Structure 1
């Protein structure tokens, strides 16, 4: 008889840390998934958490749990699929040690993910970016910190987790300035920054180094700002930027929107998509293809190349006379 608790302890103390060296965010996601699943099992059966056996969790139980996430917790298909991945990883790990449960585990591993619709990405135009960067009150330390944080994100396209992990030593301000960070999956990468951002960063560091802690963008006690704190600060500045630039108020702007903005700026500058993938830390260029799909400028430029020489450039517009004719039908 094998208990789930024993498998979970081995999984989280040895496998995810020592063997896989997974990131803290991934481990937290796996942990939260199993907490939810265990609570679901306890709520739908008479079994206590410590007494759940591996054979108690079969394909039907997992399917019911996934339905619970979608129907009762209103989770998106993407969240549901992330939970399914966390469940699969554990069962794939324990399969060699529990051949007696091989058939049950095999059926769990074949549960298909839910189909997801890929939404069009949101990014900021040049005017919207300028309005956002001008929004923080730079007469205060908090405003100067926020302005530097937003400017660096737009320049580099860092993920919010990468931004949180930055220290004052992460910035290199020599003749070829760049920033070092630990990317997704604990991958170390370096991203160049512009001369303008470097000069602004030098002024910022002079003030930042007089304050406690080593986080590049600290809170009141010197510790790095949390994910929620950064998003709240961004939301505050978006509201301020809406007054001079109303179009930004119509968009759902998050820190990941600024990452998308970086990619689109690079694409509009003519940077090859493979270089953009390296810049953003994508393992596969297919991940970066979403920017090609969202960029109407690139599509219109491609369309213009197919225009016959005798056709006037620009978007087609019918003769006004035909509109009058159609209205008279």
Structure 2
């Protein structure tokens, strides 16, 4: 009996969606981890999928798999750690299903994550973001759709998957308009929208006849096949406006990803003096430590804080040493 196949099926089909309430993206990521693991076992270790058992999945085999991801597939340390986190979760699940294999499973669970340098958070300045958002040609239907899409992406601070999953019913207008977002772990949150974004969004909904009662479950943004957009589709929409925005403002990066809109919104809220607790809730972070990365990355806020905290100790009226002829003569003799 192939216990690996049994456990993997239960893990992906029952445990993650039903017991852990994992999102579709999380389950897909975990599935891809094991697809690659099976490929590694088949291609490198000559173990076909039908013969792959839990006993054969030793900690040394898993370490070899992780090294293969880095060296052969050129995966980043971050991706390696994500794959390992999925394997850890699977073996934690397995140890409760098969307690007699506890020692074997815990050797795999004990494999540590690999330390990686913390990346710089990429974001756009307010001016650069304003220029980028102004690029779509609003005289065309496609341009208006793109303008609304990018405005909602920035103003709500949503993840790209959250944007893709939006339905017409996700937008609630009125005196305090909000967008209902469904994030990681299928957790929902309500975020306020600014009046300019609301105006664009209401006009877009009316133009596309999405304000009919029977269309509340229609996708808010669709592709040419009238289906939900894909992540690649959103990236393409943003990417086609970047070169034009760079011509107006060189502060616009050469490459702008959908997630940079989220980073930019967080940084702009922080720079506007919004408390980190509120930013955490706005972004849907489960831990304030995740939100603190923005405070650590904002050098402008650090500069202002230092200026406000300390008096100037260096006298800016120091004498001009160029007028000291004896000093100049001494310096000129140095070889």
Instruction: Verify same fold: TM over 0.5.
Output: yes
Distance 1:274 1:327 in 2: 56
Displacement, 1:310?
Answer: 7.5
Distance 1:327 1:133 in 2: 55
Q: Which residue of 1 aligns with 2:302?
A: 299
- 1:161 is aligned to 2:165: no
2:70 and 2:76 in contact (8 A); partners too: yes
2:168 and 2:210 in contact (8 A); partners too: no
- 1:242 is aligned to 2:255: no
Output the TM-score relative to the length of structure 2: 0.90
- 1:11 is aligned to 2:14: no
Residues 1:63 and 1:317: Cα distance change in structure 2 (over 3 Å): farther
Q: For each residue in 1:162-218, what CA deviation from the matched residue of structure 2 results, as whole angstroms up to 9, or x when unmatched? A: 000101111111000110010111101000001221122111111122699811111
Secondary structure in structure 2 of the residue aligned to 1:42: helix
Q: Which residue of 2 aligns with 1:256?
A: 259
Q: Which residue of 1 aligns with 2:196?
A: 196
Distance 2:175 2:68 in 1: 55
Q: Which residue of 2 aligns with 1:205?
A: 205
Trace 1:1-329 onto structure 2 (pairs within 5 A). 2-209=2-209, 214-250=218-254, 252-308=255-311, 321=321, 328=332
Q: For each residue in 1:17-62, what CA deviation from the matched residue of structure 2 results, as whole angstroms up to 9, or x when unmatched? A: 2111210000001100001001111123343211211111101100
Secondary structure in structure 2 of the residue aligned to 1:54: coil
Distance 2:231 2:27 in 1: 17
Residues 1:247 and 1:198: Cα distance change in structure 2 (over 3 Å): same
Distance 2:331 2:287 in 1: 51
1:179 and 1:191 in contact (8 A); partners too: yes
1:264 and 1:295 in contact (8 A); partners too: yes
2:279 and 2:291 in contact (8 A); partners too: yes
Query: Paired residues, what number?
Result: 325
Distance 2:90 2:55 in 1: 14
2:154 and 2:265 in contact (8 A); partners too: yes
Residues 1:143 and 1:44: Cα distance change in structure 2 (over 3 Å): same
Distance 1:223 1:317 in 2: 67
1:128 and 1:248 in contact (8 A); partners too: yes
Consecutive unaligned residues of structure 2, counting only runs of 5 or more, are: none
Residues 1:145 and 1:327: Cα distance change in structure 2 (over 3 Å): farther
Consecutive unaligned residues of structure 1, counting only runs of 5 or more, are: none
Secondary structure in structure 1 of the residue aligned to 2:55: helix
2:125 and 2:251 in contact (8 A); partners too: no
Distance 1:259 1:39 in 2: 35
Displacement, 1:311?
Answer: 6.3
1:161 and 1:227 in contact (8 A); partners too: yes
Residues 1:7 and 1:320: Cα distance change in structure 2 (over 3 Å): farther
